[in-house]
Structure formats: structure tokens, C-alpha cells
Amino acid sequence: MSGGWFERRTRAWSDWTVEQLVKAKQQADVSVSLVIPARDEAATVGGIVSRVHTDLVVGAPLLDEIIVMDSDSSDATAERAAHAGATVHRVADVRPDVGHHRGKGEAMWKSLFVASGEIIAFMDADLVEWDTHFVTGILGPLLTDRDVALVKGFYDRLLDQSGQVHTAGTTYEGGRVTELVARPTIALRWPELASVIQPLSGEWAVRRSLFEALPVPTGYGVEFGVLVDTYLRAGMDAIAQVDLGRRAHRHQPLRDLGAMATELLAVADRRAGVSTHPEAVEVRQFGTGEQRRYPITTMLSIAERPPAGRLAAPPSQTSCPPPAQSGAPDRC
Ligand SMILES: O=c1ccn([C@@H]2O[C@H](COP(=O)(O)OP(=O)(O)O[C@H]3O[C@H](CO)[C@@H](O)[C@H](O)[C@H]3O)[C@@H](O)[C@H]2O)c(=O)[nH]1
Ligand SMILES: O=C(O)[C@H](O)COP(=O)(O)O
């Protein structure tokens, strides 16, 4: 492990009780938003929002708001999230004057225009093994240490070959892109970051002032980009990591992970200054059996958004997002 950073900046979720965090929040006088980016997560998003709402909004005044960024869903994600107590925004409706990209990073970048928190915690919407300590854990270092600006969650990552959790086929082999792309890239380019146990974890929290100052990859490169940029601009001591136990989520097919890996490598190349990629790249993959000679070609967006803090205000009131589905504050 990298000298003292690991000892100084590695904690466990159980280091803080909810009551301690509420007190720390009051003392620091900061507001906290939980933002959940979600694309077609009707199966899980309602349960996740409802549990967090019960424990950390109603049960304790830790979160000022729970926002679900509905990322081009075609299922009932928005309805289920709103019903469970979240404020829901359609990503495409936020700041329409700057256009719309598909992708997770876009949803997170646009959340900066609708969330009010000085601290923003992010959590994925496809979790199947988790609990609300995921949220309290990633908030712990930010609420108790002014020098920390970014907190990454880490955990054992389950991989279930059948696509279900808790079956006999479950192993600890999850995190395929993490192991095969993120970690090797870090080893080669930014070895100090190698002590970050889950560089791609979707459960992380950040000070708004930092996130607003960073460029944001619109797709799955967002976690990697924010981690590397924080390190390059603020140094290792601005980063902390918190043990959250075990996590299981819905797995993507291998070919989709190939696309994710390409997005990460584009982010890494840009930060290392070794290439000037265009906004999109062609990825060619191949079928199996009779289809093995036929390419499946995808144009993959590797676009990045500029730092949100540098964006000019919307041109007029008409550019403001329409009211959210459950009464978001009007930020126009
Ligand atoms: O266009 C998209 C795609 C995904 N999501 C949401 O983003 C979250 C994570 O997406 P998922 O497809 O489950 O990603 P993973 O396969 O889990 O990828 C891992 O690695 C990614 C790359 O670092 C991270 O973004 C993820 O958080 C992390 O869990 C989920 O809530 C999705 O609904 C969107 O909001 N918009
Ligand atoms: O972080 C990763 O490597 C990707 O989310 C893939 O995770 P999985 O191998 O557990 O599906």
C-alpha cells in the first residue's frame, strides 16, 4: 500500500453512527443530496429510494434530498422512484440549452443543475445486495474532515454466473472491468492511485465545489475521470475510501463491458495527454456460431462535458427544466 495514504484515508462505514453524522452535518452546516442515476431500473430503484428515504430522510435528518436522474429510461423507473419518495428529473429536460448526451456521466453532470447539496453522494440504482450504510459510509469522511473532497466506497464484489444473486454460482470475481482495465491502467499511468480499492465504484461522494470544477465524461468513464482528475488536481490526500462490506448488482453482458472498457481507456488517454480522440469511436465486436464472421459495429460516444461551474447561466427562464415529478426546488 502507498505509505501513509492508505492508513490515513481508509475507513469503515461502522466508524460513524447515523447520529454522529447528523451532528457533524449540523456542525459543518452543509447540505447533502443523494443522487441516483438510473436507466431502466424499474425493478430495483423503488426499493432503494424507499429504504434510504425511510432511514436517512424520515428516520434521521441526514439527507436534504434524494434525486433520481432518469437517464432515457423506457420503463417505469421515473414513476417508481417518485412513488418511493425521490425527486425525479429527466436528464434530457435539464439545461436543454446545452443539448443532451446519453450515458451515466451525463446524468451525474446534469444533476449539478438540479441538486442543491454542497455535498453530493452518488449511488447506483441496480443494487441487489446493499444497505443504507452505503450512503452513511461515503458521507463519513466528508462530514468529519474538511480536507477530504472525494470519497470512494469499496466492497467485496459478487459475480453470479446465472445473473441472480445468492445462488450456488456466486463468486467474488465481480468487477471485471475494474480488474482488467482500470487497475492495469492505474498501475501503468498513476501508480499512487493503486491503493484505491474500487476505483470504479458507483457509490461515491464529492464536494460540489470539486465536482463543478472537473470535466465530466458523459458515459461510464465518469468514475475513472473524476478519480484521476481529483488526484491530478488535489492530490491523494483529497481522496478517502470507505469499506462498505459486500455489494451485488445487475451484471452487464461481456460485450457491453467491452464498450465500457473503451470509454475508460479514452478517459485515460486524454488525462495522459497521449491522444486527441474524437467525440465518438467505432467499436467492432463479433457474434458467435454462424455469426462469428460478422462484425457488430457500435459508434461509442466518448464525449466529455466541460466543468459545470464554468458554464454560462441558461439564456432565459424558458431554458429552465420543467418542474420535477415530486416537487424539486426551483433553481431557475
Ligand atoms: O446511460 C446510463 C447507463 C447507466 N446508468 C445508471 O448508472 C448506474 C450504473 O450503471 P451500470 O450499467 O449498472 O454499471 P456497472 O456495470 O455497474 O458499472 C460499474 O462501473 C461503471 C464504470 O466505472 C460505473 O459507472 C458503475 O457505477 C459501476 O457499478 C445504474 O444505476 C444505471 O441505471 C444511467 O443512469 N445511464
Ligand atoms: O466495475 C466493473 O468492473 C464493472 O462494473 C463490471 O462488474 P461485474 O464484473 O461485477 O459485472
Decide if 312 is inside a domain: no
Index of the ligand 2 atom closest to the CA of residue 178: 3
Decide if 329 is inside a domain: no
Ligand nearest, relative to CA of residue 130: 1
pLDDT digits over 41-78, tens only?
999 999 999 999 999 999 999 999 999 999 999 999 99
Per-residue pLDDT for 328 more than 50? Answer: no
124-133, 202-211, 212-221, 323-332: the lowest-pLDDT one: 323-332
Q: What is the mean pLDDT of the chain?
A: 92
Domain count, the chain: 1
Decide if 259 is inside a domain: no
Question: Which residue segment(s) compose the domain that 114 sits in?
Answer: 3-250
Whether 227 and 150 have beta carbons less than 8 Å apart is answered as: yes
Per-residue pLDDT for 169 more than 70? Answer: no
Q: CB of 39 closer than 6 A to ligand 1?
A: yes
Decide if 317 is inside a domain: no
Strand ranges (E), the chain: 10-12, 32-38, 65-70, 87-90, 119-122, 127-129, 150-157, 159-160, 170-171, 204-207, 216-217, 239-249, 280-286, 295-301, 304-305
Index of the ligand 2 atom closest to the CA of residue 260: 4
Per-residue pLDDT for 320 more than 60? Answer: no
Q: Which residues pair with 89 in a beta bridge?
A: 69
What confidence category does residue 326 fall into, taking pLDDT thresholds of 50, 70 and 90? low
What is the pLDDT, as a whole number, of residue 322?
57
Per-residue pLDDT for 14 more than 50? Answer: yes
pLDDT digits over 287-304, tens only?
999 999 999 999 999 999
State which amino acid sits at residue 162: S
What is the pLDDT, as a whole number, of residue 329?
46
Decide if 330 is inside a domain: no
Between CA 37 and CA 216 the distance in angstroms is 14
R_g (Cα) of the chain, nearest Å: 19
Whether 87 and 65 have beta carbons less than 8 Å apart is answered as: yes
pLDDT digits over 27-45, tens only?
999 999 999 999 999 999 9
Decide: pTM greater than 0.90. Answer: yes
Per-residue pLDDT for 327 more than 50? Answer: no
Residues contacting residue 44 through CB under 8 Å, at least 6 positions apart: 125, 126, 127, 128, 250
Decide if 213 is inside a domain: yes
Decide if 326 is inside a domain: no
pLDDT digits over 221-264, tens only?
999 999 999 999 999 999 999 999 988 878 888 899 999 999 99
Q: CB of 175 closer than 6 A to ligand 2?
A: yes
Decide if 328 is inside a domain: no
ipTM score of complex: 0.97
Ligand nearest, relative to CA of residue 92: 1
Between CA 111 and CA 295 the distance in angstroms is 36
Between CA 26 and CA 183 the distance in angstroms is 37
Ligand nearest, relative to CA of residue 158: 2
Among 124, 129, 164, 176, residue to substitute to test ligand 2 (most atoms within 8 Å of Cβ): 176
Mean pLDDT of 86-106: 98
Q: CB of 257 closer than 6 A to ligand 2?
A: yes
Task: Give nearest CA residue, ligand 1 atom 34.
Answer: 104
Distance, CA 153 to ligand 1 centroid (Å)? 15
Q: CB of 157 closer than 6 A to ligand 2?
A: yes
pLDDT digits over 187-202, tens only?
999 999 999 999 999 9
CATH number of domain containing 9: 3.90.550.10
Transcribe 159-217 into DSSP letters: EETTS-SSSTTEES---HHIIIIIHHHHHHH-GGGGG-S-TT-S-EEEEHHHHTTS-EE
Closest C-alpha to 128, from 161, 160, 96 = 160
Helix axes 254-272, 222-234, angle to 10 degrees: 20
Index of the ligand 2 atom closest to the CA of residue 158: 10
